[in-house]
Amino acid sequence: MRVVLVGYMASGKSSVGKLLARELGFQFLDLDEYIEEQQKKSIKTIFSEKGEIFFRKLEHEMLSEVLDKYQDLVLSTGGGTPCYGNNMETILQKSDHSIYLQLSIPALVERIKGEKENRPLVKNIKNEDLPEFIGKHLFERSQYYVEAKHVLECDGKDLETVVSEVKQLL
């Protein structure tokens, strides 16, 4: 069974994916980490040296590659992955379950405030401007996220709760 987690930056895709995979006994892959290993460079460096378009092409290629690679897999995607090209179509076709980990704008602002450094898209946004930026960005992206097979509301829930609720969806 292939399970794909989608959602905005800092929505918990990697932490949820890692624990979920461990509990299910599945392979876990984080698309950003996979790209970093392939390129032997951090996402931050790929963005600064080659630019976002180059990153999006890589992300698109690697998405299909990893989804073909394992039978039992939990894949955490990047926040932008479903929103470019036909990536969401690929996710829907190649996975058994896709789950949108949904968080409110205030919850995302709270999480992202202290975790901007390795995220090129928000790195230069002042904390006081984050609510407006995330609000607009999420509005553009939600249309892709909500195409996922399941939408799971995650506000106020701890990691274990989210993982157990995801398991009930499978």
Q: How far is the CB of 126 from ligand S3P (least distance, A)?
A: 18
Give whichever of 11 and 168 is closer to ligand S3P, judged by the CB atom.
11
As annotated, the binding site for substrate includes: 32, 56, 79, 141
State how far Cα 83 lies from the chain centre: 11
Which DSSP state fits 103? -
Give whichever of 9 and 66 is closer to ligand S3P, judged by the CB atom.
9
Binding site for ligand S3P (CB under 6 A): 9, 32, 43, 78-80, 119-121
Alpha helices in 12-125 (DSSP H): 13-24, 31-39, 43-50, 52-69, 87-94, 105-113
Count the Cβ atoms, other than its own, within 10 Å of residue 87: 21
As annotated, the binding site for ATP includes: 10-15, 119
Q: How far is the CB of 74 from ligand S3P (least distance, A)?
A: 14
Euclidean distance between CA atoms 122 and 115, whole angstroms: 9
Q: How far is the CB of 2 from ligand S3P (least distance, A)?
A: 19
Give whichever of 75 and 78 is closer to ligand S3P, judged by the CB atom.
78
As annotated, the binding site includes: 10-15, 32, 56, 79, 119, 141
Residue among 79, 20, 84 at smallest CA distance from 56: 84
